[in-house]
């Protein structure tokens, strides 16, 4: 599990998903409510740090616990979902 470290910083897994426009969507499995992106990988990394910091500061300000990241029970499964309208 990850979360707070001895120096007071926090560590969480983040995924950078390439987008068709060349940018990257940022996904934090521990915080699906965080939504951000970057036009480049470097910008996405910066945006990820900023979004995570803001979210954790908000949790702290609201008196909520900052959760630890839970390890997945296994390897993620990637599938395509098809629907008809």
pLDDT block averages, 10 residues each, the chain of length 85: 71 93 94 95 96 96 91 79 87
Per-residue pLDDT, 8: 79
Domain residue spans of the chain: 15-61
Per-residue pLDDT, 3: 63
Per-residue pLDDT, 2: 55
Per-residue pLDDT, 34: 95
pTM: 0.80
Per-residue pLDDT, 15: 92
**Distant-in-sequence, close-in-space partners of 33: CB < 8 Å, separation ≥ 6:** 55
Strand-pairing partners, residue 78, are none
Per-residue pLDDT, 4: 67
């Amino acid at each position: 599990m990850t979360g707070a470290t001895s120096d007071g910083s926090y560590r969480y897994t983040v995924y950078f998903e390439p987008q068709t426009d060349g940018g990257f969507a940022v996904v934090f499995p521990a915080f699906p409510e965080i939504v951000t992106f970057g036009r480049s990988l470097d910008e996405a990394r910066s945006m990820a740090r900023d979004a995570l910091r803001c979210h954790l500061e908000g949790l702290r300000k609201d008196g909520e616990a900052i959760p630890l990241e839970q390890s997945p029970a296994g390897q993620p499964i990637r599938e395509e979902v098809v629907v008809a309208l």
